[in-house]
Chain A
Amino acid sequence: MSARRLVGVAAGLAMGLTAMTGCGAGDEPSAGDLGGKIEGKVSIQTWALKPKFTDYVEGVIADFEKENPGVEVTWLDQPGDGYDQKVLTQASSGDLPDVTNLPPDFALPLAQQDQLLDLEDADVDLEKTYVEGGLQGYRYDGLDGTYGYPWYLGTDVNYWNKDMLTKNGLDPANLPTDLDSLIEQARTLKEKSGGKVYLMTRKPGLNDLQQADVPIFDEDGTELTFNTPEAVELVQKYADAYADGLLPKDILTDTFQGNAELYNQEKAAWTTGSANISGLEEANPALAKGTEISAAFGDGPLYVQGLSVNAKSKNLAAANALAQFVTNPDNQREFAKLAPGVYPSTIASQEDPYFTEDDGSVAAKAKVTGLKTLTTAIPNNPKVSPAMSTIIDQQIALAISGDATPQEALDKAVEECNKLLTQ
């Protein structure tokens, strides 16, 4: 029996110990000269572009090498899942590639650790080259400089099931344009369909508060401040709609199928999605043809991807030149043409007829609508960490369930997130 106890205790110890984790740090290489000669070996890391865009990326690299004899580019492409962990490992061990695709929230902690090149030091007029929203993604409160060349951009548009709206007493020519009209039409749809289908199928998030002009942070960016009367009013509207059965019950825990999936299955008449409708065309071709597109409510969200240069790169000049080359208007335009729903971040590409011409198809309407939204769209605040997002989501769910008032829930979310911000 004592041997069994020993085995039990040992097994418990092993199980407990394996629950614990650790991490380390490595050596830092010495940095090259930004004004030096463009030559030598440089590496560029992208995020989930293989195999769909292999030919494109290899073509861009070949062009760069042709333009800069003496430069040898190594391309690394990381899988979609676990990219943050991969970059973290590279950053903490000093193995960050010379040029890395980093969204703004990944770039922020690296910039704070002086691992990324401040592009204000580079020989480029950022304001004249890249759109404001893209640059804004890589400029952070409390930190001087710009830490990424904006690459490709994305936003959301509204998808509406015209047939479902018409059958349930709604007019596709008179679509909701704000939360109030959305709730009003959701009520009509519920009553006419006998509760069989929904219009609204998601709870609000920080993005919705941002769209409603709620200040997420104070002016210094040091404290979260989204528990304003406007935010309380917005969450209360959702709570009332939920209590009236206008939203699926399971949205509180995100265990429901998701608004896009419910839309594809024609169980919901509205969803938001990227300006690329190919996913819908594949899942439900008939619905894709019967979809009406409208601009996102408010200013619309802005999803930014960019290329950051490793400040410690041994070939800083070549790395910087490569990042500029990949994000130049020609290359961005070609990339955006290959990847529907994606827009270039360069000012010179915005007038390209490919993005502005509408041939009357649903896909073209989505593309043109998305482009218009990009002029006003706001990037998410990169200071909101995954833990903060979870806490905010939990508290908004609590308010919508009616177990806390919106004021109590938002106050609690702000309090907990501010604790995380200062620790």
Chain B
Amino acid sequence: MTDTKRTISRVREHKWFTPWLLVAPATLWLCVFNLYPAMNTVYMAFTNKKPLGGGEFVGLANFERMLDDDQLLYALTNSVLYMLVCVPLLTMLPLLLAVLVEKKLPGLTFLRVAFYTPVVASAVVVALIWNWMLDDRGAINAILQALKVVQEPLPFLTDRWLLLFSAISLTVWKGLGYYMIIYLSALGNVGRELHEAAAVDGAGPVRRFWSITVPGVRGTMLLITILITVSSLRVFSELFVMTGGTGGPGGRVSSVVMLIQMYSTGFTGHLGYASALSLLLFVLTLVPMVLLARLNRKDA
């Protein structure tokens, strides 16, 4: 009997449950830390559960309360705006950067590292640095005032819209390097001969970008769009740190995750309502993902 035959024979000797044993640790982990909490959350969304006590079934009361929650309306508006601004910017800008740094030119390694550095920095630390730059007496206002662009400091950290767009800018700046790396790997699969053939046919760089590069990374672009959509709807760190955990004046710069955090914290946390908000966020996250997946299937 050859070595190969002996190996096949050993494989065939394994019991039927061997594959199950192999996946058991991961399955157990998933059940205990993901599936059970998720099912428990669905259950709690229909109760008045508190950290200590409560837990009576209240039907749809938590969901009815959402209809009368101004803060949730602000949070949803902010999340949708976040998504609408972040998705196009973070889908296109990293691609342009990837095309730029893909070229073999001197000094580009420095640029690659520079673009990627914000990704490895902690979101909280980065948000704090941005706070110092954007505050009333921070560097940005000092420069704007020195250049006589503005007379009074701009309220980057107190005005609802400026605060929201400051946080969006931070997210975009921090995400550029991450998505650039994903695009870089995808660009490696776009045939160079296509670009050469198009160039011979007289296509310029812009035409080649839209007709060759973009279709070539379309799958990656969809994946990135889904990732950004999900992370935009679930934004927390940037808004939390930039509003000092307050959600801004009137709570108008909150996100849904910030509301979940607010309602679930402490001895008297409203876990029932926080669970209902989690469920809403879960559904909201699924909708654009399913739509994008369907769109992709139609185009395929």
Main secondary structure of the interface of A (DSSP, over half): helix
CB distance from B281 to the nearest CB of A (A): 6
Whether, in the assembled complex, B175 has its beta carbon less than 8 Å from a beta carbon of chain A, the answer is: no
Spot the interface stretch: A101-109, A212-220, A292-300: A101-109
Contacts of A59 in B (CB 8 A): none
Distance in Å: Cβ of B139 to nearest Cβ of chain A:
14
CB pair B271 A23 closer than 8 Å: yes
Please name 23 pairs of A and B residues whose Cβ atoms are closer than 8 Å in the assembled complex, sorted by A: A1-B297, A4-B223, A5-B297, A14-B34, A15-B285, A16-B286, A19-B234, A19-B257, A20-B38, A21-B271, A23-B51, A110-B267, A112-B53, A250-B135, A250-B157, A385-B269, A386-B265, A390-B262, A394-B249, A397-B248, A398-B249, A398-B250, A423-B270
Task: Identify which of residues 20-41 in chain B touch chain A, using a CB-to-CB cut-off of 8 Å.
Answer: 33-38, 40-41
Q: Interface centre among B38, B44, B270, B281, by most A CB within 10 Å?
A: B38
Q: For window 1-57 of chain A, which residues contact chain B by CB distance below 8 Å?
A: 1, 4-5, 8-9, 12-23
Q: B273: shortest Cβ distance to chain A, in Å? A: 7
In angstroms, Cα B41 to Cα A404, docked, is: 36
Q: Which range contains the number of B residues in contact with the other chain? A: 35 or more
Q: Which of B270-288 contact A (CB under 8 A)?
A: 270-275, 278-279, 281-282, 285-286
Is B296's CB under 8 angstroms from A5's CB? yes
Is B247 located at the chain interface by the 8 A CB criterion?
Answer: yes
Residue B300 is within 8 A (CB to CB) of chain A in the complex: yes
Ranked 10 nearest A-B pairs via Cβ: A254-B244, A22-B40, A20-B41, A398-B250, A385-B268, A397-B249, A17-B38, A386-B266, A394-B251, A16-B282
Contact B242–A255 (Cβ < 8 Å): yes
Cβ of B169 < 8 Å from any Cβ of A? Answer: no
| Interface residue B63 (Cβ < 8 Å from any Cβ of A) | no
Question: Which residues of the partner chain B approach A252 to less than 8 Å between Cβ atoms?
Answer: 158, 248-249
Given A386-B266, A387-B263, A390-B262: A22 in contact with B44 (beta carbons within 8 A): yes
**A-contact 0/1 string along B3-29, CB 8 Å cutoff:** 000000000000000000000000000
Known: A253-B246, A255-B135. A420 touches B270 (CB 8 A): yes
Count how many chain A residues have C-beta atoms less than 8 Å from C-beta atoms of the other chain.
56
- Give the residue among A23, A88, A403 with the most B Cβ atoms within 10 A: A23
Contact A88–B157 (Cβ < 8 Å): no
B155 interfacial contact with A, CB 8 Å: yes
